Chain A
Amino acid sequence: MELTGAEIVVRCLQEEGVEHVFGYPGGAVLYIYDAIFNQEKVRHVLVRHEQAAAHAADGYARSTGKVGVCLVTSGPGVTNAVTGIATAYTDSIPMVVLTGQVPTHAIGEDAFQEADTVGITRPCVKHNFLVKDVRDLAVTIKKAFHIASTGRPGPVLVDIPKDVTRAQCRFEYPKTVSMRSYNPVTRGHQGQIKKALGLILTAERPMIYAGGGVVLANASEELNRFAELLDFPVTTTLMGLGGYRSSERKWVGMPGMHGTYEANMAMQHCDVLIGIGARFDDRVIGNPKHFAQNPRRIIHLDIDPSSISKRVRVDVPIVGDVRETLREMIALLEQTLAAGQKTNAAAVANWWKQIDEWRGRNCLKYRSSDEVIKPQSVVQKLWEVTDGDAFVTSDVGQHQMWAAQYYSFDKPRRWINSGGLGTMGVGLPFAMGVLLANPGAKVACITGEGSIQMNIQELSTCRQYNLPVKIVNLNNGYLGMVRQWQQIEYGSRYSQSYVDALPDFVALAQAYGHVGIRVERPKDVEPALREAFGKYKDRLVFLDFITDKTENVWPMVQGGKGLTEMLLGSEDL
């Protein structure tokens, strides 16, 4: 039997086990929407803006490891989604983006709602396709899922002209796909692994530096075991939070611009650095010249060869899947240790003494207050109220850093944020994707009054699908991170960082059919959170916390500075 292109699209999604598609209809995708209407396996979630469709699919993928799927129409549908696609690309999130296109005969004629989708998205996708023949549709969608989810994951876009969705052909979904030009390495080089172990066993000041790759590769169990065997300190980046249990003594916090004193000092002064699924990003190692001033040997495990020696010269590169490589290293290490060979325990013990001394600076302490709500304390209370077991999505800015610093993650895929692109407005749609993938889970969106307004329309989507997100709005009336930089680097000239004429968020939440609670006093923080996760468990609750207006995120390594050139607090200004 022959199917239409639109039916083929839906059948492909069913074959891939896709349960949710986030999207927004429009002229070029009407046949596809018709095919969605005629079945029940694939559930469509109607967002209120295409950017949110991409973010929600992204959040869905981040919290599950499955490929997130979104569907938008041609032209403005695609251009609206671009921010969401770029966000997923920068953080290597597996996603398939289906886009409508004007009919093939109209392409290039500046047709209504025509945009060069493949051209516009080329730099922010892992790969994209334009399907010009219905007979290529199924295999192209198969390839898209394959490419998105293997190797270093990423978004793959399939652009489908309207006439292709109407044309018919026989449907056969390929079971497997092989591409001569795409064969990602999974297994690390044995010689390199041995070489790395040699360095590890003789290290005097070792340091494990794990990034988002650990989460993406589902390697946190292996990472925990690896660190356990060695008793080495571990730092996890913003993208790697939860990849290692933060309740472990060996965890020294997050490194980088707003990393802990001990993590940054240890990164700088270690003699063997073991980078795992991390990319030596500018927000993590600061100025690469300054970083290179201290000699150290670097081992780097990564699935993507281009991440290796990109910003920092690496001594022992190991290209491969992080989980598989760690497993091999653990097996080899266990053998070696069983055979009586040991790590340099005496030196490592001294190193721990040094690290504990750095830890003693207690760099995350802040002055608490009975008068004004400290944003850090809200995050800490949220951790208590949710037993440290919530999914936490965040937007971008100060609140994001406080969430990362004060909500301790013990499990991977619980911390969902835009680390690479730094996209304001992701928090709420991320939370929608997380909740649809994990029904019944506790999901908090930590945000600010700037970020939340960038996708506030999604409150409507949350109402339609009964998504009980708890929005934790740290409202200080400023674009806080911008204000902080202006205070420190621009002589306190607060150019356009004050947000005037804020809406009444409580009334706004109510207008959308949700619960709104304003919290102005420190003593009301915990009761409000308990109410949100208790009495209003099944409702979306918008918690508007009026916080200290001028609190800053500490520690801070200013742009261009070295990792150890930290400002620990306002007294350092």
Chain B
Amino acid sequence: MSRPPSCILSSILWVKQLAIRLGCKRPQPSRWLSRLRERRQSNRYANFKLTKWLVSGPPLLFLLLLVAAPGAITVLASFRYPGEFGGLAPLVAADPQTLQGVTLETYRFFFGDFIYAEVFVKSLFMALVTTLICLLMAYPLALLIAHSPKKSRNPMVLLVVLPFTSNFLIGIYAWMIILGPQSALSQMLNGMLHLFGIAPVQLLFSPFAVLVALVYAHLPFMALPLYTNLEKHDPALLDAAQDLGANAWQRFWRVTFPLSQPGIFAGSALVFIPVLGMFAIPELLGGTGDMLVGNLIKEQFLGTRDWPFGSTLSILLTVAVLLIVWLAARLAGRGGRYA
């Protein structure tokens, strides 16, 4: 049996409903009607699916075009040869003798020389130290904000994100001045060191300067997720812990800290991952020996113009980050089975 299109059915149903509402017709249980209603339900579901695509489509497209596609291109590029004047060597050459196709050369190059692995390890270490310092500095700050009266919390959060209102590079240049040899800080420090007979130190262009700027740039990314987590804690839990015999340290260590693990994890990821890819700070504030993976990659694309090797480094960095995040998530998951 062929059925009329659903739009006609629903308009019939609508008219019938209207008639019932207006009192012209008494509602009657009819099999035809109930079947129609079922059909309309399934139409509603179809509409819901359409809405879902309409809503999530644009961002999905955005991600596909600007993340997935470039990622795929990078993967492919890492298996190619560099072009004579930068870029990639052509896959189709006029002279078959000179044709360079697909290769694992860049990977062999990376694993063949210890120097690149060293940059990776140093970068990971730098990112780890930055993350730890950010955590140690942001935790008390987040705790302070979360335990402040409700009225003053938002102004305090505003102060935390205030550095975002000025350009990131301007902040870095400010650090160049603060840490520079002519700055009051350097003069005072070296004057004090002189009193104790210690040779003057240079603050700028050192791993210290890089670390200071990395922490400065990433502290809000640690503080905000921590604060959002701590703010949600039920204060009754601390009362209960105290009531059951826990002193201030035990209340922190046994209640607040374990409950804040999701915040610690989120904040750490938001600091650790960008620091690994950071190149501006080491370039401006670091010495010649303070190159990080980010600098190395940037150098491949803009300096030596070896795109395939730059792509390889990018991919290896991504793989390393994913591996670390996966490991951390597993470790954090062990303590966070509760909802």
Asked if A pairs with B, the answer is no
